Amino acid sequence: DDLSTADGVRHVGPGCSCLGPRRHRGTGSYPTLLRPSPLVILPLLSPGPLRASAPVIFLPGTPAVRVFDSPDPRLSYSSEPASSAAAGPHRRPRDAPASGQQNRGAALLPLCCAALAWGGDWRSIRARVSSLVGTFGTMGVYLSTPKTEKLSEDGENDKLKFGLSSMQGWRATMEDAHSALLDLDNDTAFFGVFDGHGGKVVAKFCAKYLHREVLNSEAYAAGDLGAAVHRAFFRMDEMMRGQRGWRELQALGDKINQFTGIIEGLIWSPKGGDSNDRHDNWAFEEGPHSDFTGPNCGSTACVALVRNKQLVVANAGDSRCVISRNGQAYNLSRDHKPELEAERERIQSAGGYIQMGRVNGTLNLSRAIGDMEFKQNKFLSPDKQILTANPDVNIVELCDEDDFLVLACDGIWDCMSSQQLVDFIREHINTEDSLSAVCERVLDRCLAPSTMGGEGCDNMTMILVQFKKATTQAKDTSGAEQSTGDAERSDLHVAEQNGS
Protein backbone atom coordinates (compact mmCIF):
# COMPACT_ATOMS: atom_id res chain seq x y z
CA ASP A 1 0.00 0.00 0.00
CA ASP A 2 0.99 3.57 -0.55
CA LEU A 3 1.72 4.71 3.00
CA SER A 4 3.30 8.04 2.06
CA THR A 5 1.85 11.44 2.76
CA ALA A 6 2.29 14.51 0.62
CA ASP A 7 5.77 14.92 2.07
CA GLY A 8 6.70 11.29 1.45
CA VAL A 9 6.82 10.45 5.19
CA ARG A 10 4.09 9.00 7.35
CA HIS A 11 4.11 7.86 10.97
CA VAL A 12 2.56 4.39 11.24
CA GLY A 13 3.11 3.59 14.89
CA PRO A 14 4.76 4.68 18.10
CA GLY A 15 8.38 5.56 17.49
CA CYS A 16 8.36 4.67 13.81
CA SER A 17 8.66 6.60 10.55
CA CYS A 18 8.15 5.20 7.08
CA LEU A 19 9.61 6.66 3.96
CA GLY A 20 6.99 5.98 1.34
CA PRO A 21 7.39 5.53 -2.39
CA ARG A 22 6.45 9.07 -3.37
CA ARG A 23 8.98 11.17 -5.21
CA HIS A 24 10.93 13.85 -3.40
CA ARG A 25 9.17 17.14 -3.91
CA GLY A 26 10.97 19.19 -6.56
CA THR A 27 13.49 16.54 -7.56
CA GLY A 28 11.49 14.53 -10.09
CA SER A 29 13.19 11.30 -9.09
CA TYR A 30 12.97 8.52 -6.56
CA PRO A 31 15.62 8.18 -3.85
CA THR A 32 18.66 6.28 -5.05
CA LEU A 33 17.73 2.98 -3.45
CA LEU A 34 13.97 3.30 -3.55
CA ARG A 35 11.74 1.99 -6.32
CA PRO A 36 7.94 2.38 -6.62
CA SER A 37 7.30 -0.25 -3.92
CA PRO A 38 9.90 0.16 -1.18
CA LEU A 39 9.31 0.73 2.49
CA VAL A 40 12.00 1.89 4.88
CA ILE A 41 11.13 1.64 8.56
CA LEU A 42 13.25 3.54 11.04
CA PRO A 43 12.44 2.91 14.73
CA LEU A 44 13.23 6.06 16.65
CA LEU A 45 14.67 4.59 19.84
CA SER A 46 16.70 7.60 20.88
CA PRO A 47 15.54 11.17 21.40
CA GLY A 48 16.71 13.99 19.21
CA PRO A 49 15.53 16.14 16.34
CA LEU A 50 15.22 14.85 12.79
CA ARG A 51 17.52 16.64 10.37
CA ALA A 52 16.93 17.07 6.63
CA SER A 53 19.91 15.85 4.64
CA ALA A 54 19.61 12.34 3.19
CA PRO A 55 17.56 9.13 3.69
CA VAL A 56 18.99 6.29 5.74
CA ILE A 57 18.55 2.60 5.02
CA PHE A 58 19.35 -0.21 7.44
CA LEU A 59 20.32 -3.69 6.36
CA PRO A 60 20.52 -6.54 8.87
CA GLY A 61 23.96 -6.85 10.39
CA THR A 62 25.38 -3.75 8.72
CA PRO A 63 26.12 -0.19 9.78
CA ALA A 64 23.67 2.56 9.00
CA VAL A 65 24.04 3.83 5.46
CA ARG A 66 23.16 7.34 4.38
CA VAL A 67 21.69 7.25 0.91
CA PHE A 68 22.01 10.33 -1.26
CA ASP A 69 19.38 11.06 -3.85
CA SER A 70 19.87 12.08 -7.44
CA PRO A 71 19.95 14.91 -8.07
CA ASP A 72 18.92 16.59 -4.81
CA PRO A 73 19.15 14.86 -1.40
CA ARG A 74 16.53 16.04 1.07
CA LEU A 75 15.91 13.69 3.95
CA SER A 76 17.96 12.10 6.67
CA TYR A 77 17.35 10.86 10.15
CA SER A 78 19.92 11.64 12.80
CA SER A 79 19.88 11.95 16.56
CA GLU A 80 22.78 14.43 16.47
CA PRO A 81 23.10 17.92 14.99
CA ALA A 82 25.03 18.41 11.77
CA SER A 83 28.78 18.73 12.14
CA SER A 84 30.56 21.78 10.82
CA ALA A 85 33.74 19.82 10.11
CA ALA A 86 35.01 20.26 6.59
CA ALA A 87 34.57 17.40 4.20
CA GLY A 88 37.34 15.58 2.43
CA PRO A 89 38.52 16.76 -0.96
CA HIS A 90 37.31 13.68 -2.87
CA ARG A 91 33.99 12.79 -1.29
CA ARG A 92 30.66 14.36 -0.57
CA PRO A 93 30.59 16.14 2.81
CA ARG A 94 29.42 13.99 5.68
CA ASP A 95 29.28 14.22 9.46
CA ALA A 96 32.54 13.96 11.34
CA PRO A 97 32.47 12.56 14.88
CA ALA A 98 33.71 14.65 17.75
CA SER A 99 36.32 12.07 18.71
CA GLY A 100 38.97 10.41 16.58
CA GLN A 101 37.25 7.07 16.15
CA GLN A 102 36.40 5.76 12.71
CA ASN A 103 32.68 5.81 12.20
CA ARG A 104 30.19 4.94 9.50
CA GLY A 105 26.91 6.40 10.65
CA ALA A 106 27.66 6.08 14.38
CA ALA A 107 25.20 8.85 15.10
CA LEU A 108 22.54 6.63 13.56
CA LEU A 109 23.39 3.39 15.31
CA PRO A 110 21.10 4.15 18.29
CA LEU A 111 18.25 3.82 15.81
CA CYS A 112 19.17 0.10 15.55
CA CYS A 113 18.19 -2.10 12.60
CA ALA A 114 14.74 -2.24 11.05
CA ALA A 115 12.96 -4.09 8.29
CA LEU A 116 13.39 -3.23 4.63
CA ALA A 117 10.47 -4.32 2.48
CA TRP A 118 11.56 -4.60 -1.12
CA GLY A 119 10.17 -6.32 -4.14
CA GLY A 120 13.46 -6.86 -5.94
CA ASP A 121 16.66 -8.83 -6.08
CA TRP A 122 18.35 -8.74 -2.66
CA ARG A 123 21.81 -9.18 -4.17
CA SER A 124 21.43 -6.11 -6.36
CA ILE A 125 20.19 -4.08 -3.39
CA ARG A 126 23.10 -5.24 -1.27
CA ALA A 127 25.62 -4.50 -4.02
CA ARG A 128 24.31 -0.98 -4.49
CA VAL A 129 24.33 -0.20 -0.78
CA SER A 130 27.83 -1.68 -0.59
CA SER A 131 28.98 0.73 -3.26
CA LEU A 132 27.50 3.62 -1.32
CA VAL A 133 29.39 2.65 1.80
CA GLY A 134 32.51 2.36 -0.31
CA THR A 135 31.82 5.72 -1.89
CA PHE A 136 31.29 7.65 1.31
CA GLY A 137 33.57 5.45 3.43
CA THR A 138 35.41 7.28 6.17
CA MET A 139 36.37 10.30 4.10
CA GLY A 140 35.71 13.42 6.12
CA VAL A 141 36.32 11.62 9.43
CA TYR A 142 39.05 13.31 11.46
CA LEU A 143 41.09 12.36 14.49
CA SER A 144 40.96 14.37 17.69
CA THR A 145 44.70 14.98 17.28
CA PRO A 146 46.73 14.55 14.08
CA LYS A 147 49.14 11.69 13.52
CA THR A 148 52.36 13.50 12.67
CA GLU A 149 54.67 10.48 12.50
CA LYS A 150 56.25 10.41 9.05
CA LEU A 151 57.37 7.63 6.75
CA SER A 152 60.47 9.04 5.03
CA GLU A 153 63.08 7.65 2.67
CA ASP A 154 66.09 8.82 0.68
CA GLY A 155 67.95 7.33 -2.28
CA GLU A 156 70.63 8.22 -4.78
CA ASN A 157 72.44 7.00 -7.88
CA ASP A 158 74.86 8.64 -10.30
CA LYS A 159 72.09 10.62 -12.05
CA LEU A 160 69.45 11.40 -9.44
CA LYS A 161 68.80 11.71 -5.76
CA PHE A 162 65.38 11.63 -4.15
CA GLY A 163 63.69 12.08 -0.82
CA LEU A 164 60.11 11.40 0.16
CA SER A 165 57.86 11.69 3.15
CA SER A 166 54.30 10.66 3.94
CA MET A 167 52.06 11.58 6.88
CA GLN A 168 48.55 10.56 7.92
CA GLY A 169 47.71 13.89 9.55
CA TRP A 170 44.17 14.52 10.73
CA ARG A 171 42.58 11.72 8.71
CA ALA A 172 41.22 8.68 10.52
CA THR A 173 42.97 6.43 7.98
CA MET A 174 46.05 6.66 5.81
CA GLU A 175 45.03 6.16 2.18
CA ASP A 176 48.14 7.38 0.34
CA ALA A 177 50.78 5.11 -1.18
CA HIS A 178 53.91 5.73 -3.23
CA SER A 179 56.65 4.16 -5.34
CA ALA A 180 60.27 5.28 -5.55
CA LEU A 181 62.58 3.11 -7.65
CA LEU A 182 65.92 4.50 -8.79
CA ASP A 183 66.61 1.46 -10.95
CA LEU A 184 63.51 0.26 -12.75
CA ASP A 185 66.16 -0.89 -15.18
CA ASN A 186 69.77 0.16 -15.64
CA ASP A 187 68.79 3.46 -17.28
CA THR A 188 65.34 4.30 -15.88
CA ALA A 189 63.99 5.58 -12.56
CA PHE A 190 60.31 5.43 -11.57
CA PHE A 191 58.44 7.56 -9.04
CA GLY A 192 54.73 7.57 -8.23
CA VAL A 193 52.22 9.07 -5.82
CA PHE A 194 48.83 7.40 -5.33
CA ASP A 195 46.10 9.14 -3.33
CA GLY A 196 43.34 6.71 -2.37
CA HIS A 197 39.72 7.57 -1.68
CA GLY A 198 37.05 5.38 -0.11
CA GLY A 199 39.85 3.08 1.06
CA LYS A 200 43.57 2.55 0.63
CA VAL A 201 43.69 -0.74 -1.25
CA VAL A 202 43.70 0.65 -4.82
CA ALA A 203 46.51 3.05 -3.97
CA LYS A 204 48.50 0.15 -2.51
CA PHE A 205 47.76 -2.00 -5.55
CA CYS A 206 49.04 0.70 -7.90
CA ALA A 207 52.16 1.26 -5.81
CA LYS A 208 52.92 -2.44 -6.01
CA TYR A 209 52.02 -3.25 -9.61
CA LEU A 210 51.92 -0.19 -11.87
CA HIS A 211 55.69 0.03 -12.36
CA ARG A 212 55.80 -3.71 -13.07
CA GLU A 213 53.25 -3.34 -15.85
CA VAL A 214 55.33 -0.55 -17.34
CA LEU A 215 58.45 -2.72 -17.20
CA ASN A 216 56.75 -5.78 -18.70
CA SER A 217 55.06 -4.04 -21.63
CA GLU A 218 56.09 -4.49 -25.26
CA ALA A 219 56.15 -0.72 -25.68
CA TYR A 220 58.73 -0.42 -22.91
CA ALA A 221 60.92 -3.03 -24.57
CA ALA A 222 60.65 -1.01 -27.78
CA GLY A 223 61.74 2.15 -25.98
CA ASP A 224 58.35 3.89 -25.98
CA LEU A 225 57.99 4.91 -22.33
CA GLY A 226 54.92 7.06 -22.98
CA ALA A 227 52.92 4.22 -24.51
CA ALA A 228 54.12 1.83 -21.82
CA VAL A 229 52.93 3.94 -18.91
CA HIS A 230 49.70 4.86 -20.72
CA ARG A 231 48.80 1.19 -21.09
CA ALA A 232 49.81 0.42 -17.50
CA PHE A 233 47.13 2.74 -16.10
CA PHE A 234 44.37 0.80 -17.86
CA ARG A 235 45.97 -2.49 -16.83
CA MET A 236 45.42 -1.60 -13.17
CA ASP A 237 41.64 -1.66 -13.66
CA GLU A 238 41.83 -4.88 -15.65
CA MET A 239 44.00 -6.64 -13.09
CA MET A 240 41.75 -5.80 -10.14
CA ARG A 241 38.80 -7.69 -11.63
CA GLY A 242 37.89 -11.34 -11.25
CA GLN A 243 39.09 -13.99 -8.84
CA ARG A 244 42.76 -13.08 -9.26
CA GLY A 245 42.06 -9.40 -8.66
CA TRP A 246 40.01 -10.18 -5.56
CA ARG A 247 42.74 -12.44 -4.21
CA GLU A 248 45.48 -9.87 -4.78
CA LEU A 249 43.46 -7.08 -3.21
CA GLN A 250 42.72 -9.25 -0.20
CA ALA A 251 46.39 -10.15 0.17
CA LEU A 252 47.35 -6.46 0.26
CA GLY A 253 45.15 -5.67 3.24
CA ASP A 254 45.10 -6.48 6.93
CA LYS A 255 41.41 -7.25 6.89
CA ILE A 256 38.49 -7.20 4.50
CA ASN A 257 35.08 -5.73 5.19
CA GLN A 258 32.76 -8.45 3.92
CA PHE A 259 29.94 -5.96 3.40
CA THR A 260 31.74 -3.36 1.30
CA GLY A 261 34.59 -5.36 -0.19
CA ILE A 262 36.95 -2.59 0.94
CA ILE A 263 40.26 -3.85 2.27
CA GLU A 264 42.05 -2.10 5.10
CA GLY A 265 45.81 -2.15 5.48
CA LEU A 266 49.00 -0.20 5.95
CA ILE A 267 50.63 2.09 3.44
CA TRP A 268 52.60 0.25 0.77
CA SER A 269 55.98 1.46 -0.42
CA PRO A 270 57.77 -1.04 -2.67
CA LYS A 271 61.44 -1.58 -2.01
CA GLY A 272 64.05 -1.94 -4.70
CA GLY A 273 64.30 -5.70 -4.34
CA ASP A 274 61.02 -6.51 -6.07
CA SER A 275 61.01 -3.79 -8.70
CA ASN A 276 62.50 -5.97 -11.42
CA ASP A 277 60.60 -9.15 -10.62
CA ARG A 278 58.77 -10.38 -13.69
CA HIS A 279 55.36 -11.66 -12.66
CA ASP A 280 53.00 -13.92 -14.58
CA ASN A 281 50.60 -12.78 -17.26
CA TRP A 282 47.75 -12.41 -14.76
CA ALA A 283 45.93 -15.42 -16.16
CA PHE A 284 42.22 -15.90 -15.52
CA GLU A 285 41.38 -17.83 -12.36
CA GLU A 286 38.22 -19.75 -11.54
CA GLY A 287 36.76 -19.17 -8.11
CA PRO A 288 33.86 -17.81 -6.09
CA HIS A 289 34.79 -14.25 -7.12
CA SER A 290 35.32 -14.86 -10.84
CA ASP A 291 32.63 -12.28 -11.60
CA PHE A 292 34.15 -9.65 -9.28
CA THR A 293 33.94 -6.34 -11.19
CA GLY A 294 36.62 -4.61 -9.16
CA PRO A 295 36.76 -2.36 -6.10
CA ASN A 296 34.47 0.62 -5.63
CA CYS A 297 37.20 2.57 -3.88
CA GLY A 298 39.80 4.24 -6.06
CA SER A 299 43.02 6.21 -6.31
CA THR A 300 44.70 8.96 -8.23
CA ALA A 301 47.97 8.13 -9.93
CA CYS A 302 50.76 10.55 -10.80
CA VAL A 303 54.00 8.94 -11.96
CA ALA A 304 57.28 10.08 -13.48
CA LEU A 305 59.90 8.07 -15.36
CA VAL A 306 63.38 9.48 -15.91
CA ARG A 307 65.63 7.94 -18.56
CA ASN A 308 68.78 9.90 -19.33
CA LYS A 309 67.48 13.33 -20.46
CA GLN A 310 63.92 12.18 -21.05
CA LEU A 311 61.19 12.76 -18.47
CA VAL A 312 57.81 11.05 -18.88
CA VAL A 313 54.93 12.13 -16.63
CA ALA A 314 51.54 10.39 -16.54
CA ASN A 315 48.61 11.50 -14.41
CA ALA A 316 45.00 10.55 -13.71
CA GLY A 317 43.29 12.52 -10.95
CA ASP A 318 44.33 15.57 -8.95
CA SER A 319 47.76 14.58 -7.69
CA ARG A 320 50.31 16.76 -9.45
CA CYS A 321 53.83 16.77 -10.88
CA VAL A 322 55.79 20.03 -11.02
CA ILE A 323 59.29 20.78 -12.31
CA SER A 324 61.47 23.67 -11.21
CA ARG A 325 63.36 25.21 -14.12
CA ASN A 326 65.61 28.06 -13.03
CA GLY A 327 63.36 28.50 -10.01
CA GLN A 328 60.18 28.77 -12.07
CA ALA A 329 57.45 26.19 -11.43
CA TYR A 330 55.90 24.43 -14.42
CA ASN A 331 53.02 22.00 -14.07
CA LEU A 332 53.68 18.76 -15.93
CA SER A 333 50.22 17.37 -15.17
CA ARG A 334 46.66 18.61 -15.19
CA ASP A 335 44.25 18.23 -12.29
CA HIS A 336 41.29 16.24 -13.61
CA LYS A 337 38.16 17.89 -12.27
CA PRO A 338 34.54 17.35 -13.42
CA GLU A 339 34.07 21.02 -14.31
CA LEU A 340 36.67 20.89 -17.10
CA GLU A 341 34.86 21.05 -20.44
CA ALA A 342 36.35 17.88 -21.92
CA GLU A 343 35.72 15.96 -18.70
CA ARG A 344 32.14 17.19 -18.43
CA GLU A 345 31.39 16.19 -22.02
CA ARG A 346 32.70 12.67 -21.47
CA ILE A 347 30.82 12.25 -18.18
CA GLN A 348 27.52 13.37 -19.66
CA SER A 349 27.98 11.39 -22.87
CA ALA A 350 28.48 8.26 -20.77
CA GLY A 351 25.23 8.86 -18.88
CA GLY A 352 26.65 10.54 -15.80
CA TYR A 353 26.01 13.95 -14.35
CA ILE A 354 27.81 16.57 -12.29
CA GLN A 355 26.27 17.85 -9.07
CA MET A 356 27.99 20.35 -6.81
CA GLY A 357 31.24 19.78 -8.70
CA ARG A 358 31.13 16.01 -8.16
CA VAL A 359 30.68 13.12 -10.58
CA ASN A 360 27.20 11.72 -9.96
CA GLY A 361 27.17 13.85 -6.82
CA THR A 362 29.88 11.84 -5.06
CA LEU A 363 33.39 12.01 -6.52
CA ASN A 364 35.37 15.23 -6.90
CA LEU A 365 37.57 13.69 -9.59
CA SER A 366 36.91 12.91 -13.24
CA ARG A 367 39.72 10.37 -13.68
CA ALA A 368 41.03 7.72 -11.33
CA ILE A 369 42.09 4.10 -11.13
CA GLY A 370 39.48 1.86 -9.51
CA ASP A 371 36.01 3.25 -8.66
CA MET A 372 34.60 0.49 -10.82
CA GLU A 373 30.97 1.42 -10.19
CA PHE A 374 31.52 4.30 -12.63
CA LYS A 375 32.99 2.01 -15.32
CA GLN A 376 30.24 -0.53 -15.94
CA ASN A 377 28.97 0.54 -19.38
CA LYS A 378 29.83 -2.43 -21.60
CA PHE A 379 29.07 -0.43 -24.74
CA LEU A 380 31.81 2.12 -24.07
CA SER A 381 35.58 1.76 -24.19
CA PRO A 382 37.52 2.34 -20.95
CA ASP A 383 38.52 5.87 -21.97
CA LYS A 384 34.86 6.87 -22.57
CA GLN A 385 33.39 5.75 -19.24
CA ILE A 386 31.89 8.17 -16.70
CA LEU A 387 35.16 7.85 -14.82
CA THR A 388 38.31 6.76 -16.61
CA ALA A 389 41.85 5.76 -15.75
CA ASN A 390 43.04 7.29 -19.03
CA PRO A 391 46.12 9.34 -18.12
CA ASP A 392 47.51 12.49 -19.63
CA VAL A 393 51.08 11.67 -20.67
CA ASN A 394 53.69 14.39 -21.15
CA ILE A 395 57.21 13.80 -22.43
CA VAL A 396 59.78 16.49 -21.65
CA GLU A 397 63.42 16.82 -22.68
CA LEU A 398 65.40 17.75 -19.58
CA CYS A 399 68.07 20.42 -19.62
CA ASP A 400 70.70 21.75 -17.23
CA GLU A 401 68.34 24.50 -16.10
CA ASP A 402 66.08 21.92 -14.45
CA ASP A 403 66.57 21.91 -10.69
CA PHE A 404 64.20 19.31 -9.27
CA LEU A 405 60.92 17.49 -9.73
CA VAL A 406 58.06 17.25 -7.24
CA LEU A 407 55.22 14.72 -7.13
CA ALA A 408 52.61 15.22 -4.43
CA CYS A 409 49.00 14.45 -3.59
CA ASP A 410 46.38 17.16 -3.24
CA GLY A 411 46.92 17.26 0.52
CA ILE A 412 49.93 19.41 -0.42
CA TRP A 413 48.49 21.31 -3.38
CA ASP A 414 45.39 22.34 -1.41
CA CYS A 415 47.72 24.31 0.86
CA MET A 416 50.42 25.59 -1.51
CA SER A 417 50.50 26.59 -5.15
CA SER A 418 53.09 25.06 -7.44
CA GLN A 419 55.26 28.16 -7.32
CA GLN A 420 54.92 28.49 -3.55
CA LEU A 421 56.12 24.93 -3.11
CA VAL A 422 59.06 25.42 -5.48
CA ASP A 423 60.06 28.58 -3.61
CA PHE A 424 59.81 26.79 -0.27
CA ILE A 425 61.97 23.90 -1.48
CA ARG A 426 64.60 26.22 -2.92
CA GLU A 427 64.73 28.01 0.42
CA HIS A 428 65.48 24.82 2.36
CA ILE A 429 67.09 22.36 -0.06
CA ASN A 430 70.63 23.54 0.67
CA THR A 431 70.20 23.83 4.43
CA GLU A 432 68.71 20.41 5.21
CA ASP A 433 70.75 17.23 5.56
CA SER A 434 68.54 15.25 3.17
CA LEU A 435 65.76 15.70 0.62
CA SER A 436 63.36 13.77 2.84
CA ALA A 437 63.94 16.38 5.54
CA VAL A 438 62.82 19.04 3.06
CA CYS A 439 59.69 17.00 2.38
CA GLU A 440 59.04 16.71 6.11
CA ARG A 441 59.28 20.48 6.42
CA VAL A 442 56.67 20.84 3.69
CA LEU A 443 54.31 18.43 5.44
CA ASP A 444 54.68 20.29 8.73
CA ARG A 445 54.12 23.57 6.88
CA CYS A 446 50.87 22.29 5.34
CA LEU A 447 49.43 20.58 8.44
CA ALA A 448 46.49 22.57 9.79
CA PRO A 449 46.36 23.47 13.51
CA SER A 450 42.75 22.22 13.63
CA THR A 451 40.11 20.69 11.39
CA MET A 452 37.95 23.79 11.32
CA GLY A 453 39.33 25.18 8.06
CA GLY A 454 39.41 22.00 5.95
CA GLU A 455 42.73 22.70 4.22
CA GLY A 456 45.72 20.95 5.72
CA CYS A 457 43.64 18.10 7.14
CA ASP A 458 44.22 15.50 4.43
CA ASN A 459 46.79 12.71 4.12
CA MET A 460 50.03 14.10 2.68
CA THR A 461 52.64 12.46 0.47
CA MET A 462 55.47 14.16 -1.41
CA ILE A 463 58.43 12.94 -3.49
CA LEU A 464 61.29 15.32 -4.29
CA VAL A 465 63.67 14.31 -7.10
CA GLN A 466 66.84 16.34 -7.66
CA PHE A 467 68.73 16.16 -10.96
CA LYS A 468 72.50 15.87 -10.73
CA LYS A 469 74.32 18.30 -12.99
CA ALA A 470 76.81 16.94 -15.51
CA THR A 471 79.64 19.44 -15.85
CA THR A 472 80.65 18.15 -19.26
CA GLN A 473 77.16 18.27 -20.69
CA ALA A 474 76.26 21.08 -23.04
CA LYS A 475 73.31 23.21 -22.06
CA ASP A 476 70.04 22.47 -23.74
CA THR A 477 67.58 25.31 -23.36
CA SER A 478 65.13 24.21 -25.99
CA GLY A 479 62.66 22.82 -23.44
CA ALA A 480 60.95 20.89 -26.19
CA GLU A 481 57.92 19.09 -24.94
CA GLN A 482 55.91 16.36 -26.61
CA SER A 483 52.48 15.14 -25.50
CA THR A 484 50.81 11.77 -25.98
CA GLY A 485 47.45 10.34 -24.92
CA ASP A 486 45.02 13.08 -23.95
CA ALA A 487 47.69 15.61 -22.96
CA GLU A 488 47.52 18.98 -24.66
CA ARG A 489 50.67 20.35 -26.30
CA SER A 490 52.20 23.13 -24.28
CA ASP A 491 55.52 24.88 -23.72
CA LEU A 492 57.18 24.75 -20.32
CA HIS A 493 58.00 28.41 -20.69
CA VAL A 494 54.49 29.66 -20.02
CA ALA A 495 52.85 31.14 -16.96
CA GLU A 496 51.76 28.58 -14.40
CA GLN A 497 48.06 27.80 -14.40
CA ASN A 498 47.23 26.61 -10.89
CA GLY A 499 44.41 24.12 -10.57
CA SER A 500 44.33 23.35 -14.29
Pair 84, 113: CB distance under 8 Å: no
Output the average pLDDT for the chain. 72
Amino acid 365: pLDDT: 95
214 residue type, one letter: V
Largest pairwise CA distance in the chain: 86
Which residues face 41 on adjacent strands?
18
Query: Could you tell me the residue ranges of all domains in the chain?
Result: 1-140, 145-485
Do residues 144 and 169 touch, judged by C-beta distance below 8 A?
no
pLDDT of residue 251: 83
Q: Which CATH architecture has domain 145-485?
A: 4-Layer Sandwich (3.60)
- What is residue 469's predicted lDDT score, i.e. its pLDDT? 81
Which pLDDT belongs to residue 246?
84
Q: Which of 205, 157, 154 is nearest to 180 (CA)?
A: 154
* Residue among 251, 134, 242 at smallest CA distance from 197: 134
Mean pLDDT, the chain cut into blocks of 10 residues (500 residues total): 38 36 36 36 39 37 35 30 36 34 36 37 44 44 94 95 97 95 95 95 95 96 97 96 85 52 41 45 67 90 97 98 97 97 97 95 96 95 97 96 97 97 97 96 97 91 92 43 40 39
Q: Is the pTM of this model over 0.85?
A: no
Q: Note the pLDDT tens digit of each residue in 253-306.
A: 744 343 333 333 334 445 444 444 445 566 666 666 677 888 999 999 999 999
